[in-house]
Amino acid sequence: MIRDGLAQYRYMSQTSNINSLELIIIYYRDRMESLFYEKLARFSEGKLIEMEDIDNEDSPENLFLTSIDLKSKCEREEIKSFMKNLWDSYKIIIEIVRTNNKLEEILTTTSDKIFAFCQKFKRKVEFKRFSESLRYYVSKIIKNMALYPDYLKNPFAVDITENETNERYLTIFSQQMKTALNLKLWQEAFKICEDMNAIIKIRRGVLKPKFLSNYFENLAKVFWNSEYYLYHANAFYSHYTIYKKFSKANTTEITNKTSLLVLSILSIPPFTIENEQKEENRAKIANLLSSSGTLPKRNELINIMKSTNLLELVNPEILSVFQLLEEEFDLLNFSMKAEKLFEILSQTPEYSIYIPALKVNLVYKTLLSLREVYKTITIAKLHKILHIIDLPIIENIILMAHVQEFINVKINHNLNVLIFGSNEQNSGFFLNERLNILANGLQNLRNSLGVNIAEEKSKEKQVFLKENAKKYLNESGRSLEMRKIRINKPEINQRFQKEKQKEDEDRRFIDEQKREEIEKIRIKEEQKKQKEKDIKESELNRKVKLLSELIKAKGPQVVKINGKKLESYNREELAEIEMKDLEDIKAMMQTKEKENTESKHKRTFQKVDFTERVKREGEFSIIEGFWQSDNQEVSELIKKAAEEYKRNFEIRRNLVETNGFRMNYVKENLEKRKSAYEKDLAKFRKDIEKEFKQSVLERALELLEKQKKRDDEEKKKREEAEKIRLLEEQKFKKGGFLFFYLIFV
């Protein structure tokens, strides 16, 4: 209802009074926000963050948990409704303002509020949905500008190539990127970088350096999190170049940025995972980082760093790290130097993130140096040289170096050694080592048992004779079996024929099963082809139906697909056209129809507006005539008022002069009235006192008489009661006497 009302008001006001629409939208947005935060003030922030997707139903787990605690369920439903109301309000505002270039300021501020809402309440799902809708809307603008030349003729169309509009959208995407990084949505952040790059490329004028610097800085963060260290270094180098050239930073800030650039370049390993990507993916990322589409490698970046004298701007500890990894390398002392340098780097959070990558490159540098000196080295000695790195990490790095064919090195855990060299040398070494170990073991075993060489030789001879005897017996037994077979050949042939018949039957059964399976597969293929054919036929029928609808709806206008009119397409040619193209044309025609309706409403509004203006102009002339006719009467009334004012002023002056007489008169009257009042008051008090005493006395006498009457009546009642009691006692005594008398008699 609110959406329809705002849309209708936009049609009415966007041509003549767009400011009123802005005020209404801002008031609606602020009002919904204030209501939202007022209602949620009584809930804790943890409950708001725990809320899942507000657009969809709760998961079965949450439904089960909330069914146990009804209070928690009611709170969740209440919070969800509040959040959904605010979120729907934001979506309505974005939907209303995004198609009007005069409402871009509201689009920017509302988008910022959406990002702040998502960041505060950790709304990752809603943030992704809004990002997708924003991405679709921007891509639709770019597509419309490319496909439809009449798009920009609409006075309210958004021209994203125009500098001010382009900067507004880049501002929105920059804030969106910041929110994605805070929510740790790295994949979404990379998509936002792609969107920013697409907008930057279609821009007409020169882009401000701050947008480019911000773009490359955020891209560097995304690549670092994805462990694409070469891309990270290239992105940071682009950011550093723009930052140093255009920013007004002081020497300390430049030194800090240069140090970070050097660390990012030194963190690139000698072999990178970027080389394992597909060519199209590498080209895609290269276009994000450079207009030329090519990226320098690690050695090229180091040469650029040396040629531009960047090392003169870095901090001393960063220069020491560079010298340790790239220039001088002392196997005896480098570990202590590296430990001290890494301890210094860990004190700065911006530098500390590069320490793990620098340690990996330090291991590679150590392995290259050890290869020149040693063919084999014990693992304990290697760990002693690289004591600043844990042994499992060193082994993983060595394994990676061998897999990537960077260094031909292997680890022998049985011998606890590290072996450098070719595969042949490694295999020879292993064989010699194993033979030496075996010989030493046998020698130790013989010495411990104390066995004689002569006895060993005699036993070996006996064993040899036994084995030869077994061989002879086996051969003689085999010859006897062959002779037996020749004697029983007819029986064997008969048995062989039976086995052959059985094998033939089994083979026929297997062939029959294969034929059945092939037939089933053929039937399935035919069914699949028939299904595909039916799908294509139904899709073709849909295309024909949609084409006929488009031909009816287009009217006299000419609509073409691939340079050919819609009416000239037959059924076979229509099969080659994508359904999406027809749907796009339908959407375009609906958009044009909507624009025509809007323009019709606009013309009607302009006509009504013109009529109202003419009417107001006529009314103004009539009102002006009345005013001129009444102007003379007004002047006369002004003169009369002035004269009346003079008369009243004279009367006031006379009254002021008589004020003293009035005061004396009032004072005398007050004194007379006061004395009379005091006399009357004294007389009144005396009369009241006399009357009061008389009334009190009379009242007291009256009460005494009443009390006396009551006492007499009570006394009389008591006397009567006493007489009655005495009479009853006498009667009782007489009755008792007669009773006893009768008993005795």
Instruction: Assign 17 to helix, strand or coil.
Output: coil
Average pLDDT of the segment spanning 281-291: 85
Among 348, 289, 343, which residue's Cα sits nearest to residue 314? 348
d(CA 161, CA 204): 6
How confident is the model over 397-422, as pLDDT tens digits?
Answer: 888 888 777 888 888 888 888 888 65
* DSSP of 347-366: TSHHHHTTHHHHHHHHHHHH
The two beta strands, 560-561 and 417-420, are unpaired
Model's pTM, two decimal places?
A: 0.57
d(CA 166, CA 33): 28
Q: How confident is the model at residue 439 (pLDDT cuts 50, 70, 90)?
A: low
d(CA 192, CA 720): 118
Three-state SS sequence of 300-331 = HHHHHHHHCCHHHCCCHHHHHHHHHHHHCCCC
d(CA 655, CA 644): 17
**pLDDT-wise least confident of 80-94, 622-636, 714-728:** 622-636
Contact 368, 407 (CB under 8 A): yes
Contact 266, 301 (CB under 8 A): no
Based on the number of CB atoms within 10 Å of its own CB, is 455 exposed (0-12), middle (13-18) or buried (19 or more)? exposed
Instruction: Assign 560 to helix, strand or coil.
Output: strand
Q: Which range among 428-437, 481-490, 491-500, 534-543 has the greatest average pLDDT?
A: 534-543
* Assigned token pair, 493: 């042939």
Contact 255, 230 (CB under 8 A): no
Contact 262, 324 (CB under 8 A): no
Q: Which residues pair with 409 in a beta bridge?
A: 420
Percent of the chain whose pLDDT exceeds 90: 12
* DSSP of 87-123: HHHHHHHHHHHTT-GGGHHHHHHHHHHHHHHHHHTT-
pLDDT at 426: 41
Average pLDDT of the segment spanning 92-116: 90
Mean model confidence pLDDT for the chain = 78
Average pLDDT of the segment spanning 361-380: 86
pLDDT at 180 over 90: yes
Q: How confident is the model at residue 109 (pLDDT cuts 50, 70, 90)?
A: very high
pLDDT at 222: 92
* Assigned token pair, 278: 């597909």
Instruction: Assign 378 to helix, strand or coil.
Output: strand
pLDDT at 77: 76
d(CA 681, CA 663): 26
d(CA 724, CA 513): 136
* Assigned token pair, 502: 């059985």
Percent of the chain whose pLDDT exceeds 70: 79
d(CA 146, CA 201): 14
How confident is the model over 664-678, as pLDDT tens digits?
Answer: 888 888 888 888 888
The two beta strands, 409-412 and 560-561, are unpaired
**pLDDT-wise least confident of 221-230, 361-370, 501-510, 682-691:** 501-510
Residues in the chain: 745
d(CA 190, CA 196): 10
d(CA 252, CA 239): 17
Alpha helices in 555-578 (DSSP H): 571-575
Based on the number of CB atoms within 10 Å of its own CB, is 122 exposed (0-12), middle (13-18) or buried (19 or more)? middle
Read off the amino acid at residue 379: I
How confident is the model over 31-70, as pLDDT tens digits?
Answer: 988 888 888 777 665 555 556 666 665 555 555 555 555 5
Read off the amino acid at residue 615: K
d(CA 229, CA 298): 10
d(CA 655, CA 424): 135
Contact 122, 115 (CB under 8 A): no
pLDDT at 173 over 90: yes
d(CA 185, CA 177): 9
Among 134, 44, 37, which residue's Cα sits nearest to residue 86? 37
**pLDDT-wise least confident of 10-24, 233-247, 447-461, 607-621:** 447-461
The two beta strands, 417-420 and 376-378, are antiparallel
Return the beta strands (E) in 428-472 as ranges.
Answer: none
Alpha carbon of 13 to those of 30, 110, 606: distances in Å?
21, 20, 11
pLDDT at 217: 92
pLDDT at 431: 47
**pLDDT-wise least confident of 299-308, 566-575, 729-738:** 729-738
Work out the angle between the directed axes of helices 124-147 and 163-182 (0-180°, nearest 10). 160
Alpha carbon of 469 to those of 62, 461, 483, 603, 681: distances in Å?
81, 12, 22, 120, 166
d(CA 192, CA 177): 6
- What is the end-to-end Cα distance of the chain in Å, rounded? 119
d(CA 450, CA 460): 17
Based on the number of CB atoms within 10 Å of its own CB, is 209 exposed (0-12), middle (13-18) or buried (19 or more)? middle
Element of type H or E holding 173: helix 163-182
pLDDT at 121: 85
**pLDDT-wise least confident of 357-371, 471-485, 531-545:** 471-485
